[in-house]
Structure 1
């Protein structure tokens, strides 16, 4: 039967001069119909199928769209699909597509474009980061120009959630043929509101208004420029001086000062972003559960919230953050350094040990977190060296490590948002055995057959009670095994100029900008 698309609940200034010079080449935020958006990191690609970074897919949404999308409440809305049907066995999805949509190169959006796009990510030879998100697809068939049928290998309850993810975009078949599967990363051609102009990897990504955009009245600005600004204080300073119309994330400690600026709107919102430290369980001493538990006890999460996040966060309430469907709320690990020392002694490390903690980002909040954890662990005899990784280092040293036995990662501070809005994408990419790097992001190299079975069975089930029980069981087991030290769930803090509208930060840390407008 036909299912209407209805909502599905998921629940420094020191660098100022350099910034000004770089912006001169990227376009000024002061021009009436030109907008600059300052972000806290550099996109490593413009191929949304080849990244696990929310920030990167936020940028690529300027150029691309998918069949569905999440709104600000993480409810699914139709975009390039108008309706769909599902067979009784849950294996066949038939999509009716929106008529009259063009890609930026003039190519028609149709069923063939859907097939070409999905076939690309399913081709293992392309080695795309998002292949596992779609690997339950058996085949994609064109029924008519505006009807496409997708057959799954097995029932996959969150399939529409996966298609609403910001990575699941439609690409121009002509562009894929012209540039190839690799070089499309530098030449995005989609159906989004902006056409690609230029990408200077450390400086900016720029798009211009797509005159053939299918949504009448949009886009409302001439150009949009995404400006990576790694230093928190510099992003805040750019807002104050009018160099940018939007900045995210912001230094939490400057929230009070920014709020006083009559030209700015300071915004906070709930997030599903959990920050955590993973432990490489294949390596000593992290192969010992008592060591992993000791580290959890040794970190004062309440103090971390104050020191690094200025109160704009709270201790993590389990493995999956609240707001994600099937999240199981659990009490945070208590701060008990005495218990930590006892566990270390029981594990054979009465005098502590030395190790390395890498951070997945270089922003100042990460730097503060790494330093805080370093100080906390020193108090129980654990001496760690900290290093915040550049994007290239993060990819080469952690995400693309070819052999689990020789992977150099030991302790790894990172964050994750389940951008499909469901517990599957909060657990499977990070904690399933199948997700060890370089396949996905299980940087703990955690493996528990019971957890694997719970995740796999929950994916197939369409019974809400059964799914809830399976996901709860998995989360409780993970907490017992302690492959992570869950730290905090943060709030999203961002600001816009008063002239700006149509831009906001979503709970998963993505940025909605397709309806950007200026007064």
Structure 2
């Protein structure tokens, strides 16, 4: 069961990468274009908002959701003890305050008083315990239960105080509580609907679930009794799954949609500043990389992996593949991720690449396969890499796969030695905003090998593993920063990946909307949305 669970997680991650991957810019500094600023504000008829998105929703149960899109919808209806601000800093939400002991094993939350769930159930310490007990049930098959498996006990101290004790130190735990998986569901709804609560979400948020017709629309209405003063100016929010890029853009142009994401990169500049449309972008924490199987020749040689890094022109990748709406990576995690530490980039240098290959005994190059999803953007990226590496006599066979096939090919492996993967083009968004989730699942040694986690490079460095453990074993920010900085430096030198780019988020909106945006992890925030008259 556990192996199948990981494979399901992996499937959603791959889907998530495809959904997050379309991103672009309207200006170099991320500000609105002059044309957009100069536009007169379009008049909005009524206060019903429609948001067109690129795919269907998977679930409305935050404890059983692993795709960013579904989490975005859930956040309109549900809230957690803590959450993230626009810069992915942890901020109090249903907890008005919290404290953490030095060992990062005890978390005490002081709760907001007088808050009720949409069904009238009281929000209190007992409601928090019911939710965390659900997530930590040893028999749970909930997708997000793994994020909370270190919780040993959740204790009701009094009606509005709850204490959570971990089985071992975990310095990134407060970020985990801020993750969408930490959102709280009405205990009454959990008892009434059980696992079917995914079809009947009940939270404390600014909007109340109305109906969901998968593939057609998801609608929620204004919570007239919302406990905060702001956050729900719209009378209703309707999400419309619209996979076809052109249709999504047309909906924004005609006013059928008030907000769309992602905006297809090839149309961003064309629509920005026209028909009352504003296209905005910001740097995300989504990284794009080329994993190389460190257990297989020739990628077991660090010099080969470094040569691949020198042979790929990251600036050209940014322009050709991402249409300029990305930035070259200079660490394994993005700059907006907590405890990021920048490294000296692998500059484009074919002679250096050829020199390293020769030193490793591959002066005549080699052949390899590159796996990835079969989306147009991913195939474009793999073909670009293929062309780049051909310049150093590395012959790549591009193997695009349907999402399920790719997931099975990667996560059906029981013995790492049997893994057929050689090179893999993928992406990752550390949705806790913390360096731990940007590093440990991807390069965290044997414990992160498929099918357990996402270490498709099969990278295993004892020094790095210890540094990762050190970063989790304390709640001291300075100690964590030092551990992760050292880990990033070592990983960068070892080059288990070809480090490519950090995506931008990109969305389009009518200019009467304010306070609605995408967070760096690619999720939607509309808790401060306003409709300008």
**Which TM bucket (shorter chain)?**
0.7 to 0.9
TM-score normalized by structure 1?
0.85
2:181 is the counterpart of 1:167: yes
Closer/same/farther in 2, CA of residues 505 and 154 from structure 1, 3 Å limit: same
From 343, 357, 375, the equivalent of 1:330 is 343
2:388 is the counterpart of 1:376: yes
Q: Distance in 2 between matches of 1:393 and 1:105?
A: 42
Closer/same/farther in 2, CA of residues 68 and 385 from structure 1, 3 Å limit: same
Closer/same/farther in 2, CA of residues 430 and 200 from structure 1, 3 Å limit: farther
2:136 is the counterpart of 1:128: no
From 436, 442, 464, the equivalent of 1:430 is 442
2:83 is the counterpart of 1:69: yes
Q: Which runs of 5+ in 1 are unaligned?
A: 1-28
From 112, 118, 123, the equivalent of 1:109 is 123
Given that 2:286 and 2:428 are in contact with CA atoms closer than 8 Å, whether structure 1 keeps it comes out as yes
Instruction: Pick which of 82-91 and 292-301 moved more.
Output: 82-91
2:285 is the counterpart of 1:272: yes
2:366 is the counterpart of 1:352: yes
Q: Distance in 2 between matches of 1:46 and 1:284?
A: 44
Determine the structure 1 residue equivalent to 2:33: none
2:491 is the counterpart of 1:505: no
How far the C-alpha of 1:231 sits from its partner, in A, is 4.1
- Number of residues of Structure 1 aligned to a counterpart in Structure 2: 487
Q: Distance in 2 between matches of 1:179 and 1:145?
A: 25
From 60, 78, 81, the equivalent of 2:74 is 60
How far the C-alpha of 1:334 sits from its partner, in A, is 2.1
Determine the structure 2 residue equivalent to 1:210: 223
Closer/same/farther in 2, CA of residues 406 and 142 from structure 1, 3 Å limit: farther
Determine the structure 2 residue equivalent to 1:468: 481
Given that 2:103 and 2:473 are in contact with CA atoms closer than 8 Å, whether structure 1 keeps it comes out as no
From 32, 35, 46, the equivalent of 1:32 is 46
Closer/same/farther in 2, CA of residues 188 and 483 from structure 1, 3 Å limit: farther
Any idea what the Cα deviations from partners look like across 1:344-396, whole Å, max 9, x if unmatched? 5535583521313213x83x543432332232234433222242644x55655
CA RMSD of aligned residues (A): 2.8
TM-score normalized by structure 2?
0.82
Q: Distance in 1 between matches of 2:242 and 2:386?
A: 26
2:239 is the counterpart of 1:226: yes
How far the C-alpha of 1:31 sits from its partner, in A, is 6.4
Q: Which runs of 5+ in 2 are unaligned?
A: 1-42
How far the C-alpha of 1:72 sits from its partner, in A, is 0.9
Closer/same/farther in 2, CA of residues 477 and 244 from structure 1, 3 Å limit: same
Determine the structure 2 residue equivalent to 1:149: 163
2:326 is the counterpart of 1:313: yes
Structure 2 SS opposite 1:309: coil
Determine the structure 2 residue equivalent to 1:443: 456
Q: Distance in 1 between matches of 2:337 and 2:116?
A: 34
Structure 1 SS opposite 2:182: coil
Determine the structure 2 residue equivalent to 1:412: 424
Instruction: Pick which of 401-410 and 308-317 moved more.
Output: 401-410
Determine the structure 2 residue equivalent to 1:97: 111
Closer/same/farther in 2, CA of residues 321 and 197 from structure 1, 3 Å limit: same
Determine the structure 1 residue equivalent to 2:503: 490
How far the C-alpha of 1:403 sits from its partner, in A, is 5.8
Closer/same/farther in 2, CA of residues 405 and 55 from structure 1, 3 Å limit: farther
Determine the structure 1 residue equivalent to 2:4: none
